[in-house]
Amino acid sequence: MILILSPNIDPEGDRYQQLMAHLSRLQDIAVRVHREVGTEQTLTEIYLVGNTSSISVDDMKGLPGVERVVRVSEECRVVGRHRDDHRPSHFDYKGLRFGQDTLHVFAGLCAVDTKEHVEAMMRALRDNGQICTRMGAYKPRTSPYSFQGHGKECLPYVFELAGKYGIKVIAMEVTHESHIDEIHEALQAAGGPTGAMLQIGTRNTQNFELLKIVGRQQDYPVLLKRGFGITFSESLHAAEYLASEGNHKIIFGLRGIKTNIGDPHRNFLDFAHVPVVRRLTRLPVCIDPSHAVGLRTSGAEGILDIMHATAQGVIAGANMVLVDFHPAPNRALVDGPQALLLEELPHFLEDIQIAREAYEKRVALATRSRTEGA
Ligand code: PEP
Ligand code: MN
């Protein structure tokens, strides 16, 4: 059960103290408080964990400071959408809104290799009006002999160049808890020129200890990729691990799943699940067409499969596109074959715009049909 308190309620005030005193007397119920500090107001939610079936919603509504009560039946208490649940499906970070109603493109390097390539990438982004990117410093590789990423060594120039080119948020994978501190320290040392979104890759979707640690910090939002070899519901539970530790700034990423039925693509495209994630959870949804498709093949009309895949996700309501680009894919140390070229960036962005407009028209059409049918 979730109690949503009046906005800006004072934790030192009488109403809050009386409420907490009452809740502490409930038998066998654990009380967890989550506070979300926004630009305009602070929202406080209280999670009652345990057998809440005998607690009446009306009783809870009558307690001091309680504005609304949501009875949660499903497992994913925090990230799930529940009946009469009007909790927000967006968050703000670095002045940007990430929600089920917005769309951001994170084009960039799968792996940082040279400072020159980082600069060329960021310059192209700036020239094309982009303020987000992806930059891999820590790479989870199948083989221990493959390039593992430059790690913290590259962070100073990545962050400095981001500041120089007006990049506000960088999606960056972390594979170990120490990486969070390294990113934090490097950002502070650089004077905070940009922001970071911590990415949990598909290989770590069920690394529960990492999820708990990333979920416990609230400095950085998290992009959680769906596990490529586990069930959909198991991946949603991974998101719940992050949220139950306190971090609600989560984006759920679809990146294809592992099965040879997906051949000749690298993974089997799962972007038909974009609306499913949006229905079952309050999380914005990211699509990663690069890791889903994995190569630069194109359809008979000359459109790259990666662009087709992107359009499929965006037309279905995706809120973020994470995509690999590289100034010289043949010299990339990771995933060169799936990287788009910098000169393809304007085309890619325009194609996304077409798909987004089509999505918006589809929403308007569905709304009209519903009202006319009502
Ligand atoms: C990546 O985005 O660089 C990556 C390794 O993705 P995934 O975890 O989806 O394989
Ligand atoms: Mn990659």
What's the confidence (pLDDT) of residue 73?
A: 66
For ligand 1, pick from 172, 197, 199 the residue to mutate: most ligand atoms within 8 Å of CB.
199
What's the confidence (pLDDT) of residue 83?
A: 81
Of 211, 210, 197, nearest to 320 by C-alpha is 197
Question: What pTM, to 2 d.p., does this model score?
Answer: 0.93
- Listed as own residue / partner, the contacts of 138-143 with beta carbons closer than 8 Å and 24 or more positions apart are 138/172, 138/173, 138/174, 138/175, 138/176, 138/179, 139/110, 139/111, 139/173, 139/175, 139/334, 140/173, 140/175, 140/201, 140/203, 140/204, 141/334
Q: Which atom in ligand 1 lies closest to the alpha carbon of residue 322?
A: 2
Q: Which atom in ligand 1 lies closest to the alpha carbon of residue 290?
A: 2
Ligand 1 lined by 255 (C-beta under 6 Å) = yes
For ligand 1, pick from 172, 291, 293, 338 the residue to mutate: most ligand atoms within 8 Å of CB.
291
Q: Which atom in ligand 1 lies closest to the alpha carbon of residue 256?
A: 9
Specify the 3-state DSSP secondary structure of 56: coil
Mean pLDDT by 10 residues, the chain (374 residues): 93 95 93 85 90 90 94 82 86 97 98 98 98 98 97 98 98 98 98 98 98 97 98 96 95 96 95 97 97 97 98 98 98 97 98 98 96 82
Q: Whose CA is nearest to atom 3 of ligand 1?
A: 110
Ligand 1 lined by 226 (C-beta under 6 Å) = no
Of 191, 174, 194, nearest to 131 by C-alpha is 194
Measured in Å, residue 221 CA sits from the centre of ligand 2 at 20
What's the confidence (pLDDT) of residue 74?
A: 66
Ligand 1 lined by 225 (C-beta under 6 Å) = yes
